[in-house]
Structure 1
Amino acid sequence: MRLHDTKVALVTGANRGIGYELVKQLALNDFKVILASRDPNKGEDAAQKLKESGLDVSFVRIDVDDQESIRQAAIAVDRKFGKIDVLINNAGMYGDENENFLTTAPSILEKTMSTNFFGAYYVIHFFIPLMEKHGYGRIINVSSDYGAMSQLSRQGAGAYKLSKLALNGLTRLAAAHVHGDIKINAVDPGWVSTDMGGPNAPRTPMQAAESILWLATIGPDGPNGGFFRDGKRSDW
């Protein structure tokens, strides 16, 4: 199969948890997958583990808090593959838990917004030209039900909620500006048992991955600018 015929996907924050499972499942479905991680040692190890299972996985360093690393990664992907078909903004952080938002250190809000909102924005900014030159792409922003407007009337996790609300806004705004067969959607994977979600979470990374991956293969009549959970639209 020629490279041009093979779909190329990139997943950020993918050396563990949901991201790692997304890379694995995409590769099992015949994608060439680029595993992106800010830690080159952990990222290389994760990619190598999947390659040893016979999967077509490579590694690129992306620290979503570092614009230059994103720009360099986009250049490297363009040189190697000449395109990107699927982009999953999975990297994220959850730093404030149940603190009072009004007394939370401003640095926590700034760091959370930098990672969860601006990180996704810059990944889209630098990678979407690779989609536009071929008129095809699927961008999936991994959000949360905490990003729904209704959640803002409840206390707790204020920085995280605002960052995901902004990510949802970015999804809708960016989707309104794309042309050709390019789709941008947000997904709530639910509460997932990962390092971020903790051991008590009811959903596995595989269940979360399944709730996300259907958007990677939607056809030209598929949704654009939507917010989904398990394939069903969620309220903003």
Structure 2
Amino acid sequence: MIETASPTGAVALVTGANKGIGFQTALQLAERGLTVVVGARAPERGKAAADEIRATGADAHPVTLDVTDPAIVRQAARWIDERFGRLDVLVNNAGTAEDPGHRPSAADLDLVRGIFETNVFGVLTVTNALLPLLRRSVAPRIVNVSSGMGSLTTQSSPESYLAQAPATAAYPASKSALNALTVQYAKELGQHGFLVNAVTPGPCDTDLTKELQSAGFAMTRTAAQGAAVIVRLATLGPDGPTGGFFGEDGPLPW
């Protein structure tokens, strides 16, 4: 069991937080007493999501954030700095996927690059822009939302349900790369009190998984259930793990 803390008054940023798992993560963090910054590409959707969270009595603020646009990311970082002066939790949730029929042998390289731009380079862009604010926190936490499909072990194990998923060129590879990046950030930042982990929400019924569902791949979890795993890693106590890959039931193989 991972011990968690509930840092009331802490400030958290969740990217891609206007719907699905990102929204549920923002909502659950806010319900724990954190001030949540709702990152969304479309300002009106971010505002609507923040308004919905505030309607519960929690504290939420929208910020326009396209993880593939460094200028917009820097602008969001400046806004957080001016408004709050620090950041305690960063949840890199924004992600994208391709059609499950996009086989490696027929890969559209522009599409592959686009997915890596969001799922990997976007995480680098956002994390590095927010690091100065995270360094001001007494307990900085970074959670990278990965996927079980990023696990080389489960993808290649005949016993795993993920091994039955259609072969695709970009999404699993991008999440494997994100897992590797998570380890490297944990190595670099561990001496400064950071806890940096990757997490899989599990097979959740969201817009991102519609194509997989249409291909007959069952999604058995809600967005709220998936978000609960993320929130647990985002609110780790001081003795929590770092540099790991976790699911609902604990550590997962790379």
Task: Report how far residue 235 of structure 1 moved.
Answer: 0.5
SS at match of 1:35: strand
Count residues with an aligned counterpart: 233
Please list every run of 5 or more consecutive structure 2 residues that lacks an aligned counterpart in the other structure.
Answer: 1-6, 157-162
Task: Report how far residue 5 of structure 1 moved.
Answer: 6.8
Task: Report how far residue 129 of structure 1 moved.
Answer: 1.3
Report matched runs for 1:9-88 at 5 Å. Answer: 9-88=12-91
Kept in 2, the 8 Å contact 1:96–1:108? The answer is no
CA distance in 2, matches of 1:54, 1:81: 19
- Could you give the per-residue CA deviations for residues 21-46 of structure 1, whole angstroms, max 9, x where no partner exists? 01111111100000000111111111
Query: Residues 201 and 117 of structure 1: is their aligned pair in 2 closer, same or farther, counting only changes over 3 Å?
Result: same
Judge which range, 113-122 or 142-151, deviates more.
142-151
Kept in 1, the 8 Å contact 2:154–2:253? The answer is no
CA distance in 1, matches of 2:81, 2:42: 21
Kept in 1, the 8 Å contact 2:36–2:59? The answer is yes
- Could you give the per-residue CA deviations for residues 93-119 of structure 1, whole angstroms, max 9, x where no partner exists? 011313221212111100000000011
CA distance in 2, matches of 1:152, 1:115: 22
Return the TM-score normalized by structure 1. Answer: 0.93
State the one-letter code of the partner of 1:221. D
CA distance in 2, matches of 1:162, 1:5: 36
Residue number in structure 2 paired with 1:191: 203
Kept in 1, the 8 Å contact 2:195–2:243? The answer is yes
Kept in 2, the 8 Å contact 1:9–1:84? The answer is yes
* Identity between Structure 1 and Structure 2 (%): 39
The counterpart of 2:9, out of the listed 2, 6, 26, is: 6
Query: Residues 133 and 54 of structure 1: is their aligned pair in 2 closer, same or farther, counting only changes over 3 Å?
Result: closer
Please list every run of 5 or more consecutive structure 1 residues that lacks an aligned counterpart in the other structure.
Answer: none
The counterpart of 2:133, out of the listed 130, 133, 136, is: 130
Residue number in structure 1 paired with 2:169: 158
SS at match of 1:9: strand
Task: Report how far residue 128 of structure 1 moved.
Answer: 1.3
Q: Give RMSD over aligned pairs.
A: 1.7
Kept in 2, the 8 Å contact 1:96–1:160? The answer is no
CA distance in 1, matches of 2:232, 2:167: 31
Task: Report how far residue 231 of structure 1 moved.
Answer: 4.5
SS at match of 1:158: coil
Residue number in structure 1 paired with 2:147: 144
Task: Report how far residue 167 of structure 1 moved.
Answer: 0.4
CA distance in 2, matches of 1:51, 1:5: 16
Kept in 2, the 8 Å contact 1:97–1:157? The answer is yes
CA distance in 1, matches of 2:197, 2:253: 13
Query: Residues 44 and 235 of structure 1: is their aligned pair in 2 closer, same or farther, counting only changes over 3 Å?
Result: same
Residue number in structure 2 paired with 1:224: 242
| Greater RCO (Cα-Cα under 8 Å, separation 6 or more) | 2
1:175 paired with 2:186, answer yes
1:121 paired with 2:132, answer no
Misfit runs of 4+, over 4 Å? 151-155
CA distance in 2, matches of 1:158, 1:151: 17
CA distance in 1, matches of 2:95, 2:245: 17
